[in-house]
Structure 1
Amino acid sequence: MSQAVLYALGSVVLVSLFSLAGLVLFRLHGLTARYVIVALVSFSSGTLFGDAFIHLLPESVEKHGFSVSISLFVLAGIAASFVVEKFIHWRHEHSSSPDRIEAFAYMNLLGDAVHNFIDGIVITAAYLLDIRVGVATTIAVLLHEIPQEMSDFGVLIHGGFTRSKALMYNFLTAGIALLGLALTVLLSQTAEHLVWVLPPFAAGGFIYIAGADLIPQLHKEKGSASALMQLFFFLLGIGGMLALHTD
């Protein structure tokens, strides 16, 4: 097993373990929870943009040269993220009646499983591209996962799960990322020419998540103090990705 795959395996397991973070953050209340979430979302936005534009895209261009194909796969990543999100939102809207709350919770698990599967692919593809890119991508995914897992945990509790069952199901869906890892490793051995499309595709997904999901959430927070905090953590996230970059 190559060093890149071992790093990817360790990173995917680490990301899966962060599904337990939902329980910790779910216990926070009031202003503390609000400030922590705003800081995490701001930092996550910066890291996702930073990883896409500082690591994934430059490394793809450096290894394979710039072509319209790279741009098309970035756009494909954006489009795929849009479609997945639309599907999840559509299922939520059609499962929200009082007697189907638990169905809503199961649909949330399905959506989470899809996202985790993609995370496994993205992390593994990044490590196969370059170890440093893999580390940066893992950090970006982790930071996005923390507030996401808290939200998922809350949805499961609202859907009727006990805390222990919500935690267990959240952890099991997080483990789906290992299937994404296995698929990517298999492709790298049997269809290596296809693996190069994954980093720009992942970059498109990161750009969509940061721009369409996270930034609009930050705009809901009012006040100059909140805006300054958001800007600070957003730039800190970009700075962290820049610090991991070496020519």
Structure 2
Amino acid sequence: MIKNIIFKKIKFTNFNQKKFNKIINKKGNFVFPAAPALVEIERSKYYYKSLQEADFVFFDSGLFVIMLKIFRNISVNKFSGFKFLNLFFLYLKKNNKKKILSIDPNKIISIENKKYFEKKGITKFYSYIAPIYKSKKITDKKLLKLVNKVRPNFIIINIGGTKQEILAHYMKQNLKSKQTILCTGAALSFLTGIQAPINKFYDKIYLGWFVRIIYNPKIFLKRYLYALGFVPIFFKNKIIIE
């Protein structure tokens, strides 16, 4: 079985849910780059470095998985942030004393996320509403101070793709101790119902992107057309199998 794929010096982990319990308590950055974000590996040095230095990079992108199979005859498991969070909440059901810090894009989403965690029996829940990070080189000393004070077991970043990975990398480089940081972006909003009504079925058949377009075409049609920019990146780079 293929363990890892090296693509543009980024190590992608071929992950399945049987391995979940083996890694969930490991420290490090867990990232789930979708196709629109993967385009940025050749356009943002900060984003590229955040993936290179992440501890676990999963195959969230259905486009990447399909292209690997069709054009390189390489089979890997698509493992989205949505699927990971479903397993994560099953884990928290048995470990509900864990401290969670949720980094959210606005107050409305923050309130809904708090309600969802409380519904799941998580009482040690902390929320941080992220500022609008205008620069691609993200810094946030206020966040560092909060994390060093709270010392959560898990940090979940729910802000947009590319920025969340850069923020996670910044924290990894500047926090006093290593943390478990989950860069799952919009996945939590799928569960709370704030975003598109994606479920396990749509995620399994690689149609999460399509549901998001139907739900909000003005935003997501443009985003997924942009994702096609990954196609030439794929063909001009080698794949190393581990």
TM-score by length of 1: 0.25
The structure carrying a bigger helix percent of its residues is 1
TM-score by length of 2: 0.25
Q: Which has the higher contact order (CA 8 A, sep 6+)?
A: 1
